[in-house]
Amino acid sequence: MRLDNKGVSIDLDVHGPDDGPVVLLLHGFPDDRSLWRHQVPALTERGFRVAAPDQRGVGASDKPAGVDAYAMPFLVGDMLAVLDHIGADRAHVVGHDWGAAVAWVLASLAPDRVDHLVALSVGHPAAFRGAGYAQREKSWYMLLFQFEGVAERWLSADGFRNLREWMRHPDADAVAARLGEDGALTAALNWYRANVPPEALLAAPPELPPVAAPTLGVWSTGDIALTEANMVGSASHLAAPWRYERLEGPGHWIPLEAADRLNELLLDFLPAPTG
């Protein structure tokens, strides 16, 4: 399925019963919607209708030119367009990595569209900015990614060796093949260039309305990029119930490395479909 949002085409899969409550699954860097291949069956079998898009700049979706095209308002706007396209007034939103960042902002700015929120690895934007030196140390790569050409060469050299060794992604071959396509790596890095330039990391945290959706935050102890403080600090940015789950052992790629446990958490946290 494809939709057009102001000239940018977004490609997505929709699974499950047409009358089921919608779950919107948002991937991050360097993934596409295949990240959720273990969650989609579990959710649809329970009766949810699941929408899994490739976000802009990724996979089968359009890769608009220019850094500005990847600013957060456009990313959130894409997901509102997805919900409109599939006829969903409200949805449960589950995001990982950059997908979690989009989910937080979506829930904050469009509270009437988000029923329940699940954030994996990445906490509320203000909590991330306020997570201290340990988080900034882990975020070293965000500065590298600002340098167009330099970052692309460093990541892609020798068959994406640096990316493979640093990220330890379970789908490293598929990720390398996807990012090796024309323009794909720059489009993916433009998410960082548009939203976390150095001056933004030094500025005050963004002011967003408190999240009104019941929220589950999940962080894993083996995460290479995020500290626990970035997630647990999210609780102060909600005007709704907060639940936190700490996974012992898995790395950053929770939907792949802790698929069964994540499925259990999702099915326990999201209200069961009725009827």
pLDDT in tens, 92-112: 999 999 999 999 999 999 999
Instruction: Find the Cα–Cα–Cα–Cα dihedral 258, 274, 79, 221, rounded to 10°.
Output: -20
Q: Which of 83, 88, 14, 79 is nearest to 51 (CA)?
A: 14
* DSSP reduced 3-state for 256: helix
pLDDT computed for residue 2 by the predictor: 96
Does the structure show a pLDDT above 90 at 203?
no
- B/e letters for 168-183, b = 16+ CB within 10 Å, e = fewer, are ebebbeebbebbeeee
Mean pLDDT of 189-198: 93
> Which one-letter DSSP state was computed for residue 233?
G
Higher pLDDT, 202 or 167: 167
Q: Rounded to the nearest 10 degrees, what angle do helices 72-85 and 98-109 cross at?
A: 70
Q: Rounded to the nearest 10 degrees, what angle do helices 184-195 and 72-85 cross at?
A: 110
For the beta carbon of residue 262, count every other beta carbon within 10 angstroms. Answer: 26
pLDDT computed for residue 151 by the predictor: 97
Element housing 165 (H / E): helix 150-167
* DSSP reduced 3-state for 250: strand
What value does the mean pLDDT of the chain take? Answer: 95
For the beta carbon of residue 164, count every other beta carbon within 10 angstroms. Answer: 16
The token pair that represents 185 in the structure block: 């790596």
| Diameter of the chain measured on Cα atoms | 54
Does the structure show a pLDDT above 80 at 182?
yes
For the beta carbon of residue 13, count every other beta carbon within 10 angstroms. Answer: 16
64: preceding bond cis by omega (within 30 degrees): no
pLDDT computed for residue 113 by the predictor: 98
Q: Where are the beta strands (DSSP E) in 97-194?
A: 114-120
Residue labelled with tokens 């969903």 = 88
pTM: 0.96
Does the structure show a pLDDT above 90 at 127?
no
The pair phi, psi for residue 62, each rounded to 5°, is -65, 155
Mean pLDDT of 42-57: 98
pLDDT in tens, 57-91: 999 999 999 999 999 999 999 999 999 999 999 99
pLDDT computed for residue 136 by the predictor: 85
pLDDT computed for residue 275 by the predictor: 63
pLDDT in tens, 204-263: 667 899 999 999 999 999 999 999 999 999 999 999 999 999 999 999 999 999 999 999
Cα–Cα distance for residue pair 98/27, rounded to 1 Å: 7
Cα–Cα distance for residue pair 135/233, rounded to 1 Å: 12
Higher pLDDT, 127 or 54: 54
pLDDT computed for residue 201 by the predictor: 63
The token pair that represents 51 in the structure block: 């929408």
pLDDT computed for residue 274 by the predictor: 82
pLDDT computed for residue 241 by the predictor: 97
Mean pLDDT of 122-150: 90
